[in-house]
Amino acid sequence: GAVVSQHPSRVICKSGTSVKIECRSLDFQATTMFWYRQFPKQSLMLMATSNEGSKATYEQGVEKDKFLINHASLTLSTLTVTSAHPEDSSFYICSASRRQGGWGYTFGSGTRLTVV
Protein backbone atom coordinates (compact mmCIF):
# COMPACT_ATOMS: atom_id res chain seq x y z
CA GLY A 1 0.00 0.00 0.00
CA ALA A 2 0.88 3.70 0.17
CA VAL A 3 1.77 4.30 -3.46
CA VAL A 4 2.40 7.74 -4.89
CA SER A 5 2.33 8.12 -8.63
CA GLN A 6 4.13 11.05 -10.21
CA HIS A 7 3.64 11.98 -13.84
CA PRO A 8 5.31 12.59 -16.19
CA SER A 9 8.61 10.92 -15.38
CA ARG A 10 10.43 12.96 -17.99
CA VAL A 11 9.51 16.10 -19.85
CA ILE A 12 11.32 18.37 -22.25
CA CYS A 13 9.85 21.78 -22.90
CA LYS A 14 10.78 24.97 -24.68
CA SER A 15 11.88 28.01 -22.78
CA GLY A 16 8.92 30.24 -21.95
CA THR A 17 6.32 27.49 -21.82
CA SER A 18 4.64 26.01 -18.74
CA VAL A 19 4.82 22.44 -17.50
CA LYS A 20 2.48 20.67 -15.10
CA ILE A 21 3.60 17.80 -12.91
CA GLU A 22 1.05 15.62 -11.16
CA CYS A 23 1.40 13.76 -7.90
CA ARG A 24 -1.30 11.26 -6.98
CA SER A 25 -1.73 9.10 -3.93
CA LEU A 26 -3.20 5.92 -5.32
CA ASP A 27 -4.43 4.04 -2.30
CA PHE A 28 -4.65 6.54 0.49
CA GLN A 29 -5.79 10.06 1.14
CA ALA A 30 -2.91 12.48 1.46
CA THR A 31 -3.65 15.36 3.75
CA THR A 32 -0.26 16.87 3.08
CA MET A 33 1.96 16.73 0.03
CA PHE A 34 5.46 18.04 -0.36
CA TRP A 35 7.33 19.16 -3.44
CA TYR A 36 11.10 18.83 -3.61
CA ARG A 37 13.70 19.78 -6.13
CA GLN A 38 17.01 18.05 -6.59
CA PHE A 39 19.95 19.57 -8.38
CA PRO A 40 22.62 17.24 -9.77
CA LYS A 41 24.71 15.66 -7.04
CA GLN A 42 22.88 17.58 -4.35
CA SER A 43 20.31 16.72 -1.76
CA LEU A 44 16.63 17.33 -2.06
CA MET A 45 15.43 20.79 -1.25
CA LEU A 46 11.93 21.34 -0.05
CA MET A 47 10.09 23.80 -2.25
CA ALA A 48 6.66 23.88 -0.71
CA THR A 49 4.15 22.09 1.46
CA SER A 50 0.60 21.80 0.27
CA ASN A 51 -2.42 20.92 2.34
CA GLU A 52 -5.65 19.88 0.72
CA GLY A 53 -8.02 22.76 0.26
CA SER A 54 -5.64 25.50 1.32
CA LYS A 55 -2.82 27.54 -0.13
CA ALA A 56 0.61 26.01 -0.29
CA THR A 57 3.34 27.11 2.08
CA TYR A 58 6.47 27.98 0.14
CA GLU A 59 10.01 27.78 1.45
CA GLN A 60 12.11 30.88 1.51
CA GLY A 61 13.55 31.70 -1.88
CA VAL A 62 10.96 29.75 -3.86
CA GLU A 63 8.91 31.94 -6.21
CA LYS A 64 5.27 31.13 -5.64
CA ASP A 65 4.21 32.80 -8.88
CA LYS A 66 6.62 30.67 -10.83
CA PHE A 67 5.95 27.36 -9.12
CA LEU A 68 2.20 27.08 -8.82
CA ILE A 69 0.96 24.35 -6.52
CA ASN A 70 -2.60 23.14 -6.38
CA HIS A 71 -3.88 20.52 -3.96
CA ALA A 72 -7.51 20.38 -4.90
CA SER A 73 -8.27 16.92 -3.59
CA LEU A 74 -6.94 14.47 -1.04
CA THR A 75 -5.36 12.38 -3.77
CA LEU A 76 -3.91 14.91 -6.18
CA SER A 77 -1.43 17.74 -6.02
CA THR A 78 0.01 19.50 -9.05
CA LEU A 79 3.12 21.60 -9.54
CA THR A 80 3.12 23.92 -12.53
CA VAL A 81 6.40 25.47 -13.58
CA THR A 82 5.37 28.64 -15.39
CA SER A 83 7.43 30.40 -18.05
CA ALA A 84 10.13 27.79 -17.68
CA HIS A 85 13.79 28.68 -18.22
CA PRO A 86 16.83 26.44 -18.62
CA GLU A 87 17.80 27.06 -14.99
CA ASP A 88 14.53 25.40 -13.96
CA SER A 89 15.84 22.13 -15.39
CA SER A 90 15.99 19.77 -12.46
CA PHE A 91 14.58 16.63 -10.86
CA TYR A 92 11.31 17.31 -9.07
CA ILE A 93 9.96 14.85 -6.51
CA CYS A 94 6.72 14.89 -4.60
CA SER A 95 5.91 13.10 -1.41
CA ALA A 96 2.71 12.51 0.43
CA SER A 97 1.81 11.91 4.02
CA ARG A 98 -1.23 10.09 5.26
CA ARG A 99 -1.44 12.35 8.24
CA GLN A 100 0.57 14.88 10.16
CA GLY A 101 2.97 13.40 12.62
CA GLY A 102 5.92 12.45 10.49
CA TRP A 103 5.19 8.81 9.84
CA GLY A 104 4.55 7.21 6.50
CA TYR A 105 5.97 9.55 3.91
CA THR A 106 5.80 8.05 0.46
CA PHE A 107 7.71 9.53 -2.44
CA GLY A 108 6.88 9.69 -6.09
CA SER A 109 9.39 8.44 -8.61
CA GLY A 110 10.29 11.95 -9.66
CA THR A 111 10.08 14.05 -12.81
CA ARG A 112 13.12 15.02 -14.84
CA LEU A 113 12.42 18.43 -16.37
CA THR A 114 14.65 19.70 -19.14
CA VAL A 115 14.04 23.18 -20.48
CA VAL A 116 15.63 23.88 -23.85
Residue 6 interacts with other proteins (CB under 8 A): yes or no:
yes
Is 68 near other proteins (CB under 8 A)?
no
Site string for other proteins, 37-56 (x = CB under 8 A): -----xxx-x--x-------
Residue from 1, 65, 100, 116 binding other proteins (CB under 8 A): 100
- Three-state secondary structure along the chain? CCCEEEECCEEEECCCCCEEEEEEECCCCCCEEEEEEECCCCCEEEEEEEECCCCCEECCCCCCCCEEEEEEECCEEEEEECCCCHHHCEEEEEEEECCCCCCCEEECCCEEEEEC
Q: How many residues bind other proteins (CB under 8 A)?
A: 21
